[in-house]
Amino acid sequence: LQEELREAFPLPTSAEADQDSKLPVNLATVKALDLKYDNIRRRVPLLEAVIYESLRLFPTSPGNFWRSVPRGGRVLGGYFIPEGTDVGGASAAYHHGPEWDDPWTFKPERFMGPEGEKRVHKTYYFSTGQRQCIGKALALMEMSLILAVIFRCFSLEVADPSEMDKEWRHFVTLQPVDHKLQIRIRPQDEFEWGEGEVA
């Protein structure tokens, strides 16, 4: 992912000419790299696939999406459910179900290309239909922009990989149980910590 971002958003020409100096990581540098949402989506489709796959594995809202059965009742999975019954579907269970090949493995490529585009519409990260999260588009845009800046300008490393496989608690959002995941972050080789406004 970092290599694709580096190729899609090279250093500005003036910075490339001066190999000895490093760019500060600040708002001016981010603007110079032209890291805009439309550019990110067009040039680095892998980033969006990584976001979708991360949300599939660890949905922000893993719980049930409750609905009341309409008048007359409905048949669901061969069972009649009377009207007025509250029915919920757990997105976390669906996203790890048999519909997904090797569901517990991180495979961003499942969201690449035409088949991947179809798969995106079969996910429930932000609920679905008329009652889906009103902030869905904004959330996806923010994730893309923030992650593009982070992965383009910084190198990240998990301080203690054993912390990756801890227990998670399902509430309104997915929460880690009694642990903190610590990340080491440093500027990539062509950057340095900047002063002033940080992107």
The CATH number given to 2-193 is: 1.10.630.10
Which pLDDT belongs to residue 81?
96
d(CA 125, CA 151): 23
Determine if residue 153 is labeled as part of a ligand binding site. Answer: no
pTM of the model: 0.80
d(CA 76, CA 151): 44
Which pLDDT belongs to residue 94?
83
pLDDT digits (tens, 9 = 90+) for 14-71: 555 455 567 777 778 888 888 899 999 999 999 999 999 999 988 877 666 778 999 9
pLDDT digits (tens, 9 = 90+) for 172-190: 677 777 767 788 888 888 8
Examine the pLDDT at 166 and tell me if it is beyond 70.
Answer: no
Residue 13, judged by CB atoms within 10 A of its CB (0-12, 13-18, 19+), counts as exposed
**Domain extents in the chain:** 2-193
Ranges of H-type helices in the chain: 2-8, 13-17, 27-32, 37-43, 45-57, 91-95, 113-120, 136-153
Phi then psi for residue 29, to 5 deg, are: -65, -45
**Between 17 and 11, where is the model more confident?**
11
Which pLDDT belongs to residue 17?
43
pLDDT digits (tens, 9 = 90+) for 74-102: 998 899 999 999 988 777 788 888 889 99
